[in-house]
Structure 1
Amino acid sequence: MAHAWPLDSTDGTTPTYTGRALRLAQVSPFLSGATADRPFGARSGVRPGTSPHTVTVSGSTWTVHPCAGVIDPHLSAAAGPYSWAVAEPESGTIPSASQVYTRWDGIWLVLDDPAESEGETAPSARIEYRAGQASATPTMPTAPERSMVLAQVVVPPAGSGEPSAVWTAPQMSAAGAPIRVRSTAEATALLATMGASNESPLWVEHIGETNALSGRLWRHDGTGWQTLAPAVAPVIATFDNGKIATGAVAGTVVIPAVPFPTVNVISVLATGGFDTGARKVQIALSVSAGTLSGRNLFPVSAPAAGWATFAAQQRLVLPANMACTVTLKSASDGPSYHIGSVAVHRTLN
């Protein structure tokens, strides 16, 4: 049976819609998560843009503030996903802390739908708080059935601090859009459940991390992950300081920090020479950060009272979130002139 929504009635009676029919026609088509086994499936999550402070803790009280999203509790292959909303703040009491160990508790959004024969008697969406076991190595308690996690509540031993909330809710994703994940483990789990192929690649975006993955887009075509990142603008500078002594600074260029590792190809094109005598003219590069490789000196013989053109190129690997100053110094055989430019072309490492 096919479903379409919305349709106007022509006889005052039909069409009629069940909850499942509305989910399949109204919710499922616009969300990512379809697979061959579950063509109406979706990724459970909150709406992108939901505040990471949606769950708060004050003293011994936890509160879930208004939020909305989608949950696919996998009731059946044809059940489809449910949209949900917490319209008003909901609160509860955190159980007493252990005297010795830290405890991890959890807060979930739970879906009950008796029409799908899941065992409950009343249809609802509800918030459920579950306390974990205090331990030297605490773990999250078992998730309720038909649920999606909203937050972890960390309860330290009595007298050693106040409980705190850690926002862990996944984010929902529109059909065809990259799915936001917080870790490579989450991306790997998605790959296991959703699969990937050249015709239907899996795209993920890493968010919320403080490491080099943050901000990157990844694509899996069934054979392996490929990483993408925003284009990084080259850095270009010129130098002309007149006649300078050996070891003096001919010029500098600052490479700004970006939130992922980069390979930076530093290219120097310059002209140098002496007032008298035929000697070697050259530039040496040094950097304030990162790893520089390649030949550092590029000597070219300049004719007496003449000029010579020379080029240099080196490779600089920079970690994420690290800026670098490249300094060009004269390594010529005596006071000489250096006029030129330096360009830094940047690619993802």
Structure 2
Amino acid sequence: MRPHAGVLDVLPAAESGPYGYAIDANVTGTVTAANASNPRRDIVYVELVDPAEGTGGTTPGVTPKYLAGTAAATPVAPATPARSMLLAEINVPAAGGGNPTVTWRAPVAVAAGGIVPVRTTAERDAVTYGTADAPVFVSLLGDLYRGVGSSFAPIGTGRTAVAAFTATGIGTGQILNAQVPGFVVPGKQAHAVRVQVTGWLFNGANAGNYTLFLRQNDAVVAETQIPYGNGYGDRRTVAFEFTATVQPGAHKFDVVSASGSASAGYDTAKTCQLTVTDLGPVS
């Protein structure tokens, strides 16, 4: 065991409070020999002794210890003893199966109200104190979660990008109205992203269908048609929304327009706003 410091809160009496400790030098020991047929999971832990709290012993202190598990086809690590905190598991293969490996299991201590870092969703689900005021960060996924009742929900980044106002005359074929380039989805898992198009159009005496194509990285992911026509000064409000599951990385969102087959075009069209919002990771 290498030098490290930690905090223990392992006594049954709440008023006993936390205990700080430090291992200031390398600690070595012998691992029980491998079983001839089956693998085994052992544990390494630290044990607290405080006679004033009725733990037994004569001298307060924290001692690193090792406990071998039971060999089995599907081995299970032994339970951590009382007044102790698990630090790591040693995965011991059957004899001739290679060298043992170590999996670090110790929890991470943070200041009150701080973000609690965990490595996996299993560790996240074992946390009982992850709230909106003390969110949990899952490093494997790269995302924040908060406690909601007995489960966890992702915390959206709240990032919103808005394209600049664009006025475009529309004819046949696709014409770019507005674009949000380089929209980055952080972390290591997919996020829900909401894309909204709002605006208005104005046309002259023509009639037909005004078509909007919503694209992600140049691929059409949704479209809508707004009919118009036959009255000079005809105006239509555009309101279009789409939610997509988007993988981590940089993405480009844009809205393009084209006239429908009923008309070659009309006088003027305007897309006022393209808004892209990250709603957070998809559980």
* TM-score interval for Structure 1 and Structure 2 normalised by the shorter chain: 0.7 to 0.9
Contact 1:205 / 1:215 at 8 angstroms: preserved in 2?
no
The answer as to 2:188 corresponding to 1:285 is no
Distance of aligned partners of 1:81 and 1:233 in 2 relative to their CA distance in 1, 3 Å threshold: closer
Name the residue aligned to 2:162: 236
Which AA in structure 2 matches 1:70? V
Does residue 136 (structure 1) correspond to residue 136 (structure 2)? The answer is no
* 2:163–2:274 CA contact under 8 A, matched in 1: yes
User: Counterpart in 2 of 1:57?
Assistant: none
Distance 2:217 2:36 in 1: 50
Query: For 1:206-225, what aligned pairs fall within 5 Å after superposition?
Result: 206-211=136-141, 215-219=143-147
Q: Which amino acid aligns with 1:92?
A: G
- Residue 26 of structure 1 is matched in structure 2 by none
What is the deviation of 1:169? 0.9
Residue 75 to residue 232, structure 1, CA distance change in 2 (3 Å): closer
Measured in 2, the distance between the counterparts of 1:314 and 1:202 equals 28
> Per the alignment, in what secondary structure is the counterpart of residue 330 of structure 1?
strand
Moved more, 261-270 or 131-140: 261-270
Matched, 1:70 2:7: yes
| Distance of 1:243 and 1:176 partners within structure 2 | 54
User: 2:199 is matched with which residue: 269, 289, 295?
Assistant: 269
One of 28, 31, 52 as aligned partner of 1:94 = 31
1:167 paired with 2:93, answer: no
Superposed displacement of residue 273, structure 1: 5.2
Cα 1:229/1:146, change in 2 over 3 Å: same
When residues 247 and 77 of structure 1 are mapped into structure 2, their CA distance, relative to the original with a 3 A threshold, is: closer
Structure 2 portions without partners, runs of 5+ = none
Q: For 2:32, give the aligned amino acid.
A: P
AA paired with 1:237?
Answer: A
Counterpart code for 1:167: W
Q: Deviations along 1:274-306, whole A, 9 cap, x unmatched?
A: 8x84443221224469xx78xx31314256897
Distance 1:207 1:347, change over 3 A: closer
Partner of 1:329: 256
Unaligned 5+ runs, structure 1:
1-63
Q: Deviation at 1:173?
A: 3.6
3-state DSSP of counterpart to 2:75? coil
CA contact 2:212–2:258 (8 Å) conserved in 1 = yes
How far apart are the structure 1 equivalents of 2:151 and 2:269? 46
TM-score, normalising length: structure 1: 0.61
**Post-superposition CA distance 1:13-51 (Å, at most 9, x none):** xxxxxxxxxxxxxxxxxxxxxxxxxxxxxxxxxxxxxxx
Q: 1:242 to 1:154 in 2, by over 3 A?
A: farther
The count of residues paired between Structure 1 and Structure 2 equals: 272
- Structure 2 distance, partners of 1:104, 1:203, is 36
What amino acid maps onto 2:243 in structure 1? L
Determine the C-alpha separation between the residues in 1 that align with 2:96 and 2:234. 76
Q: Following the alignment from structure 1 to structure 2, what is the Cα–Cα distance between the partners of residues 158 and 339?
A: 74
Change (3 A) 1:317 1:210: farther
The offset of 1:308, in angstroms, is 4.8
Residue 67 of structure 1: CA displacement? Answer: 1.6
CA deviation map 1:55-79 (0-9, x unaligned): xxxxxxxxx2222121123154443
SS of structure 1 residue aligned to 2:103: strand
Q: Cα distance, 1:219 vs. partner?
A: 4.2
Give me the identity figure in percent.
26
Q: Secondary structure at the match of 1:90?
A: coil
Q: Does 1:246 align with 2:173?
A: yes
Q: 1:181 offset after TM fit, Å?
A: 5.0
User: Contact 2:180–2:253 (CA<8 Å) still a contact in 1?
Assistant: yes
Deviation at 1:86, TM superposition (A): 1.2
Q: Report the equivalent of 1:125.
A: 62
Alignment partner, residue 16 of structure 2: 79
Instruction: Tell me the TM-score normalized by structure 2.
Output: 0.73
Q: Which has the higher strand share?
A: 2
Residue type at the aligned position of 1:168: R
Residue 256 of structure 1 pairs with residue 184 of structure 2: yes
